[in-house]
Amino acid sequence: MRNNLKFYIDGTWVQPKSTAVIDVINPADETVVGQVALGDTSDVDDAVSAARKAFETYSLTSIEERISLFDRIIAAYDKRANDLALAVTDEMGAPQWLSEQLQVTVGVAHFKIARAALATYRFDEPLGTSEVVREPIGVCALITPWNWPLMLMAAKVAPALAAGCTVVLKPSEIAPFSGTILAEILHDAGVPKGVFNLVHGDGRVVGNALTSHADVDLVSFTGSTAAGIEVARTGALTVKRVHQELGGKSPNIVLRSADLASAVEGGVAQMMLNSGQNCSAPSRMLVHVDQVAEAISYA
């Protein structure tokens, strides 16, 4: 049993202010595999305050310092690869091979991509008689779903840290284990205290507290359209930037000239990767009206 009963705030593991705890269930076999604590607005206030304070110094770090930090993060991540794969399998039911070969590898890939970008990106450049300077935005609230936990956490955390921002991460409360391990990785890599903070909880309480918080400068949210509407609404109250990736039904267009059998079979296989739990799953297959019956026979 995994028990995620503490939050990572200001460089240390702390007891939540709330006593609320929920079971985490492996959807593959519906067994209880652990518990996670649910935070409240006080936990969010502490995490945001730590991130705000850390931003004053972390935003001034050099590119070379951040590159060195990313090298340490990537090394620490690789050491915990097996732990991460086991956690993903427990929390969201992914087959072990998929956790190892895809879930874990795409997570570290985002840190490697951000590290590579740091080596070449121009934060300042001349433009005519002026100079354009790109500055970190500030404190970023990062809210992620359960289906690709490592990829989506890394896709938000890595560029934020690379840009000089500080963050508060709220993973999905039904898939919290990999987020806790990621916090351990960042701690072991020597991320300065307050730069990365982790608060577990649900969207109604912790998510809403983050998106409406006056000291949060940007919200990055991946999840349902219904929740995204609420994120946009609450974020607007403090005129913060809001970046969203919401649910959809991606089209898979099969032209009449295509090999119909391989197109349909391949399309179904692609859609069902990760048990069909992909934001980009091509779940609508559009074929020529004369080929509908044949396409159905291959599905």
d(CA 170, CA 39): 10
Give which of 229, 167, 175 is closest to 202, Cα–Cα. 175
Q: Which amino acid is at 102?
A: L
140 is a catalytic site residue: no
245 is a catalytic site residue: yes
Name the active-site residue from 131, 135, 230, 245.
Answer: 245
Phi first, then psi: what are they for 191, rounded to 5°?
Answer: -60, 130
Give which of 27, 30, 33 is closest to 4, Cα–Cα. 33
Dihedral angle sign, alpha carbons of residues 230, 236, 238, 242: positive
Number of helices (H), then strands (E), belonging to the chain: the values are 11, 14
d(CA 153, CA 167): 11
Q: For residue 215, give Cα distances in angstroms to 163, 171, 237.
A: 18, 20, 12
Kind and range of the H or E run holding 47: helix 41-58
Name the active-site residue from 230, 265, 279, 294.
Answer: 279
d(CA 187, CA 14): 14
The residues annotated with a catalytic role in the active site are: 245, 279
